[in-house]
Amino acid sequence: MERRIKAILSGSKTVAVVGISGKPDRPSHVVAKYLQERGYKVIPVNPNLTEVLGEKAYKSLAEVPGRVDLVDVFRKPEEVPGVAEEAVRTGARFFWMQEGVESDRACEILDAAGIPWVKDRCVKKELGKLGK
């Protein structure tokens, strides 16, 4: 798993943060800002927002123009299979379920599409372990 995490984080430049909050104290906002500060292009995905961290927010992955490297998910586990299906349809390269987020069904969908995934881990913490 550690090798997969390193490959995903080093192979990603564009990160769609699904379920990002506009509130600066929320984990999704903190992680997205951390990614932004480390040179990642963050694309907020939340149907209730128009902009976060100076970036245009999109209602869904399907609305994001261009290809996303990494889909970072901050949603309830029961919502994750739908996000995984959308990630497959939009050609995402990698999929990440944040701490506390796990879905066996999403993993099956991603495995069938050949998309590497991580579950129940924090992107920010994993980047920290890599010294980034």
Q: How many CB atoms lie within 10 A of CB 7?
A: 12
What pLDDT is attached to residue 131?
A: 84
- Cα 92 to its chain centre, rounded Å, is 10
d(CA 18, CA 87): 11
121, two tokens: 């881990």
Q: Please give the radius of gyration of the chain, using alpha carbons only, rounded to the nearest integer.
A: 13
**pLDDT tens for the 132 residues of the chain, in order:** 889 999 999 999 999 999 999 999 999 999 999 999 999 999 999 999 999 999 999 999 999 999 999 999 999 999 999 999 999 999 999 999 999 999 999 999 999 999 999 999 999 999 999 888
Measured CA to CA, the distance from residue 97 to residue 24 in angstroms comes to: 20
CB 43 within 8 A of CB 36: no
Predicted pLDDT at 132: 81
